[in-house]
Amino acid sequence: MTYCLAIAVEDGLIFCSDSRTNAGPDRVSTYSKMHRFSVAYDRSLILLSAGNLATSQAVITQIQRDLEEDAKFNILKARYVADVADYVGEINVREQAKYTASSAPGAGPGFNATASFIIGGQIKGHSQELYLVYPEGNHITASEIYPYLQIGETKYGKPILDRIIRPDTPYETAMRCAVVSMDSTIRSNATVGPPLECLFYRNNSLKPHERYFNLPEHHPYLAKLRQSWDEGLRDAFDKLPGFNEVFADDE
Amino acid sequence: MTYCLAIAVEDGLIFCSDSRTNAGPDRVSTYSKMHRFSVAYDRSLILLSAGNLATSQAVITQIQRDLEEDAKFNILKARYVADVADYVGEINVREQAKYTASSAPGAGPGFNATASFIIGGQIKGHSQELYLVYPEGNHITASEIYPYLQIGETKYGKPILDRIIRPDTPYETAMRCAVVSMDSTIRSNATVGPPLECLFYRNNSLKPHERYFNLPEHHPYLAKLRQSWDEGLRDAFDKLPGFNEVFADDE
């Protein structure tokens, strides 16, 4: 499994991803799931991937090949980020079909070749955009009220996003929220793990990114963050209104 | 769906459950999932249920019938809570089989009659015990390091439990943690909803319970709790160590 998320605030776009892949407990490995395609002052595009690793690698390879071979359409020729989302969706469907279509030689029940993607960024002359591309190839953008998207193991890290993330959340708070959402998932689910990557693209900058970091498993910052967050949560519990007013009875 | 959890701390046992049931978006209803079987100063037993509503209702009905008919074995004749867990498991398997065994007249693919239970409490002369009963009828107890059990929609509310709950957590903190875990799940998943029930059984008291409350959807306490928790989380974010030391570059 995997956990990736992206947040669209007025300040810009935040992307965050784990790096663990597993195909059973004895096939655990580490791969980056954050792929960057940028040309300074023209376009900045970030792609996050989750799901079947063979499928997501095949999709990334095709995107890169289309760039190298200057294909009729590639990421650098797209006019809108939505066009890139369509393109990623088409490649995704095609790659999955190679192994799951009824005519595929390796097709069998129980095999899951699906992959999902988040694509976001900005192309010169247009607003920043953010999309989630489904295994079926179609895509959605983030909600205006809760402006974030997730792929992979999404549930553990969702409550903190629902409580904190709004369109006007400052980018540093949104980055912290993304890292805490990721850390919560890493702690609660063994199939999601560090290194943890986080990137901030500032709206209208058209720079590849403004902030980026990569935290490996034993990075002292992760330990400090966990301790600080645990203490902060305990303080928040201590400040919660007491239950006395709601107790129905003391037997 | 449903979300129920129970926590075993040195102070005693905490039980918390939502009340929403749904069989599709136009079949949403409200049922208590907390069932209490107690005889003061002899035994205090709490049962939480999740899964197929027909199955869990049939299990509760059978337990009550065995009490009324003074069956050879019933909840009041059990010597250990583990025996009650075995008994609940047996009834659960039997009730599911009525509708899913290959010989069952209504059996069909895609129908899911499974239910899970949490049973906990104390019987005079023994320690407090807590078990999760699977649809297959077998059961586990809580981890010694992370002493909680969950059934139903478990992922959203797990991170806060993993961060806070330890065997020596005071019961009021554990109750607050249970309510926040429940509230996070309610906010992030539409199939889990109030009223929210919470009960505290004090270890070795053998009283039915020491604390109990039931919070309906628009209870002012829930609104206060949410606001206080949101503010506490924001404070916790503000206190997190800054990212400056980890940024790889500023482009």
Sequence ranges of the domains in chain B: 3-239
Where is pLDDT greater, at A110 or A235? A235
- Contact present, A66 and A74 (Cβ < 8 Å): yes
Per DSSP, B80 falls in state S
Owner of token pair 């009223």? B195
Question: Is the pLDDT confidence value at B14 over 90?
Answer: yes
CB pairs under 8 A between A and B: 157
**Considering only alpha carbons, which residue of chain B is nearest residue A231?**
B236
- Of B98, B4, B118, B86, the closest CA to residue B54 belongs to B98
Question: Is the pLDDT confidence value at A78 over 80?
Answer: yes
Report d(CA B22, CA B28) in Å as an integer: 4
The 3-state secondary structure of chain A reads CCEEEEEEECCEEEEEECCEEECCCCCEEECCCEEEEEECCCEEEEEEEEECHHHHHHHHHHHHHHHHCCCCCCCCCCCCHHHHHHHHHHHHHHHHHHHHCCCCCCCCCCCCCCEEEEEEEEECCCCCEEEEECCCCCEEECCCCCCEEEEECCCCCHHHHHHHCCCCCCHHHHHHHHHHHHHHHHHHCCCCCCCEEEEEEECCCCCCCCEEEEECCCCHHHHHHHHHHHHHHHHHHHHCCCHHHCCCECC
Question: Is the pLDDT confidence value at B99 over 70?
Answer: yes
Least confidently predicted of B71-80, B128-137, B242-251: B242-251
Q: What is the CA radius of gyration of chain B?
A: 20
Distance from CA of A158 to the nearest CA of B (A): 7
pLDDT, chain B, mean: 92
Which of B16, B154, B155, B201 is the best substitution to test chain A (most A C-beta atoms within 10 A)? Answer: B155
Q: What is the pLDDT of residues B160-203, one digit of tens each?
A: 999 999 999 999 999 999 999 999 999 999 889 999 999 999 99
- H or E stretch including B158? helix B158-164
The sheet carrying A196-202 orders its strands as A148-152, A3-9, A12-17, A196-202, A211-215
What is residue B24's three-state secondary structure? coil
Report d(CA A191, CA A201) in Å as an integer: 28
- H or E stretch including B160? helix B158-164
The set of residues, in sequence order, having a beta carbon less than 8 Å from that of A121 and lying 6+ positions away, is A13, A38, A43, A44, A45, A46, A81, A128, A129, A201
- Give pLDDT, residue A26: 79
- Give pLDDT, residue B37: 94
Per DSSP, B73 falls in state S
| Angle in degrees, CA A189, B55, B143, rounded to 5 | 30
Report d(CA B119, CA A27) in Å as an integer: 36
Question: Is the pLDDT confidence value at A202 over 50?
Answer: yes
**Considering only alpha carbons, which residue of chain A is nearest residue B205?**
A251
Question: Is the pLDDT confidence value at B22 over 90?
Answer: no
CATH fold for domain B3-239: Glutamine Phosphoribosylpyrophosphate, subunit 1, domain 1 (3.60.20)
Which alpha helices (DSSP H) does B74-154 contain, by range?
A: 81-100
Residues of chain B contacting A185 with CB distance shorter than 8 Å = 159
- Give pLDDT, residue B248: 62
The set of residues, in sequence order, having a beta carbon less than 8 Å from that of B117 and lying 6+ positions away, is B47, B48, B49, B50, B56, B59, B88, B92, B132, B133, B151
Residue among A162, A184, A213 whose CB faces B246 most closely: A213
Q: Are strands B12-17 and B20-22 parallel, antiparallel or unpaired?
A: unpaired
Token readout for B114 is 């499974």
Where is pLDDT greater, at A242 or A150? A150
Least confidently predicted of A12-26, A115-129, B112-126: A12-26
A218 in reach of chain B (CB within 8 A): no
Distance from CA of B72 to the nearest CA of A (A): 31
- Contact present, A2 and A151 (Cβ < 8 Å): yes
Question: Is the pLDDT confidence value at B102 over 80?
Answer: no
Mean pLDDT of B5-34: 91
Note which residues in 138-177 of chain A have CB less than 8 A from chain B: 155-160, 162-164, 172-173, 175-177
| Angle in degrees, CA B98, B100, B102, rounded to 5 | 100
Report d(CA B32, CA A31) in Å as an integer: 45
- Give pLDDT, residue A131: 98
Residue B197 neighbours by CB distance under 10 Å: 20
- Give pLDDT, residue A251: 44
The CA distances from residue A34 to A195, B13, B161, B205, in Å, are 11, 44, 30, 55
**pLDDT band (50, 70, 90) for residue A248:** low
- The superfamily in CATH containing domain A3-236 is Aminohydrolase, N-terminal nucleophile (Ntn) domain (3.60.20.10)
ipTM of the complex as predicted: 0.87
Q: Identify any residues that bridge with B51 across adjacent strands, giving them in sequence order.
A: B115
B240 contacts A236? CB cut-off 8 A: no
- Contact present, B107 and B101 (Cβ < 8 Å): yes
pLDDT, chain A, mean: 92
The DSSP code sequence of B181-244 is HHHHHHHH-TT--S-EEEEEEETTT-SS-SEEEEE-TT-HHHHHHHHHHHHHHHHHHHHSPPGG
Report d(CA B197, CA B219) in Å as an integer: 12
Q: What is the pLDDT of residues B24-79, one digit of tens each?
A: 777 788 899 999 999 999 999 999 999 999 999 999 999 999 999 999 999 999 99
- Give pLDDT, residue B244: 79
Q: What is the pLDDT of residues A13-68, one digit of tens each?
A: 999 999 988 877 778 888 999 999 999 999 999 999 999 999 999 999 999 999 99
Question: Is the pLDDT confidence value at B251 over 70?
Answer: no
- Give pLDDT, residue B36: 95
